[in-house]
Structure 1
Amino acid sequence: MSELLTVAMPKGRIFEEAVELLRKAGYDLPSEFDDSRKLIVDVPSAGMRFILAKPMDVPTYVEHGVADVGVAGKDTMIEEERDVYEVLDLQISECYLAVAGLPGYKETGIAPKVASKYPNLATQYFKEQGEQVEVIKLNGSIELAPLVGLADRIVDIVSTGRTLKENGLVELETIVPITSRLIVNPVSYRTKDTLIDEMVERLAKVVEGE
């Protein structure tokens, strides 16, 4: 049996777009693969084994060599700062990180509170702005924080802006554009260089529209 390339993939929207990209690159992924509830899926026809994980965990699996390559959002890469190679911008799941709050927001107190799934990223951003804030880490429904008085502002991913609008929040500042990246374990890049280089080349052609 030929060697399998282990790929860590995030569940959700990025997964769907990444699978479509792999198919366009000529990888034979069966249709039932999309609906599988398994966490580990072997696809011998594509020469791959997939590990399905939470988006924030993908760089960890790749860093520790459990996966050879992975697909991770740039937001996760900045937040996690894992020891992996970022080899290709896949240009999927486009969105951006932004600061948001209630309309008419005015800064109060010495260190205003900011809620985010990205505490490291938020801390760094406000530090660069010369602003002292207290960052509160939340794992979901970040928009709730200003509504109940937990935080003055939030730092979160914005795709269409609809969630902010529906919760009565407005965007205050744009931080950085986000897309998903192909990341590689440094050891795997040496031991499985042929497989990984081929994958990068095939995906790059699709991304660049060749």
Structure 2
Amino acid sequence: MADPIVFAVPKGRILGEVLPLFAALGIEPEPAFADPDSRALRFATNRADISLIRVRAFDVATFVAHGAAQVGIVGSDVLDEFDYPELYAPVDLDIGHCRISVAEPAAMAAADDPREWSHVRVATKYPGITRAHFEARGVQAECVKLNGAMEIAPVLGLADRIVDLVSSGRTLKENGLVEVEVIAEVSARLIVNRAAFKTRAAVIAPLVEGFRRLTDGARAA
């Protein structure tokens, strides 16, 4: 029997939205998978041909692109940032909704007009998306790469503005920041390694179709 395919799932808030999809497809992870306190990284399921790994969102795309995992779920923000040619994203799962936005201190925003920007210094974990966005507007962007705690960067003088994921906007507000531009709307996508899609089609193709039916059904409801 062939080894099980590896399905990469991101840690964090999106996990709660992924579990009902698995349940609807008859995929039951072992109990530790849904336990936020578990330090395990790989998990069995009720299907001998599917195992799961739970990793950081940015790492999901890397695992699948390099073939260490064959299938995954990841935000469109990660796909846009890395743009791996090895990845195929056949289904928008219509979960994990948020946006990538430019934010700055509220006091600055009160007197600021984004249409007049010519150069910006931005703290972000999305330098690729950020540069592309500002280049399209004819604005020179100096990006300071951070992996977290973006909101503190303007307070400490590291950068005037940030580009980050925004959901409710609460974190921005609590740190004295406001959104001034939305770069892109984000949702979670099912991704597949292109080579694995050919070599493991017997397992992967029905998975893709199952997720597509779920998503189409939810939209039609």
- TM bucket, shorter chain: over 0.9
SS at match of 2:14: helix
User: How far did residue 16 of structure 1 move?
Assistant: 2.5
The Cα offsets for residues 64-113 of structure 1, whole Å up to 9 and x where unpaired, read as 11111011111111111112111111111100111000123348997331
Cα distance between partner residues in 1 of 2:76 and 2:118:
31
Shift of 1:5: 2.0
Alpha carbons of structure 1 residues 109 and 150: separation in structure 2 relative to 1, 3 Å:
farther
SS of residue matched to 1:6: strand
CA contact (8 A) 1:4 1:49 kept: yes
SS in 2 for 1:26: coil
> How far 1:44 moved relative to its partner?
4.3
AA aligned to 1:154 is I
Pairing 1:48-63 to 2, within 5 Å after superposition: 48-63=50-65
> How many pairs are equivalent?
210
Matched residue, 1:90: 93
* Matched-pair contact (CA < 8 Å) for 1:29–1:46: no
For 2:217, what is the secondary structure of its paired residue?
Answer: coil
Unaligned runs of 5+ in 2: none
**Superposition deviation, residue 2 in structure 1:** 6.2
Unaligned regions of 5+ residues in structure 1, if any?
none
Q: CA deviation at 1:3?
A: 4.8
Deviations 1:35-76 (A, max 9, x none): 142111122436311122111111111111111101111111
User: What CA distance in whole angstroms lies between the structure 1 residues aligned with 2:59 and 2:30?
Assistant: 25
8 Å CA contact 1:4–1:44 kept in 2: the answer is no
When the two structures are superposed, what TM-score results if normalisation uses the length of structure 2? Answer: 0.88
Of 178-187 and 192-201, the range deviating more from structure 2: 192-201
* Distance in 2, Cα, partners of 1:28 & 1:112: 47
Is the contact made by 2:41 and 2:55 (CA closer than 8 Å) also made in structure 1? yes
**Aligned with residue 144 of structure 2, among 128, 136, 155:** 136
**Aligned CA-pair RMSD:** 1.9
Alignment map for 1:1-210 (pairs within 5 Å): 1=1, 3-35=3-35, 36-45=38-47, 47-82=49-84, 83-103=86-106, 104-105=108-109, 106=112, 111-209=119-217
**Partner SS for 2:62:** helix
Give me the whole-angstrom Cα distance separating, in 2, the residues matched to 1:21 and 1:176. 25
Instruction: Give, in whole Å, the separation in 2 of the partners of 1:88 and 1:30.
Output: 25
The farther-off stretch of 22-31 and 165-174 is: 22-31
Q: How high is the sequence identity, in percent, across the aligned residues? A: 40
Sort the Cα spacing of 1:46 and 1:15 in 2 relative to 1 into closer, same or farther, 3 A.
farther
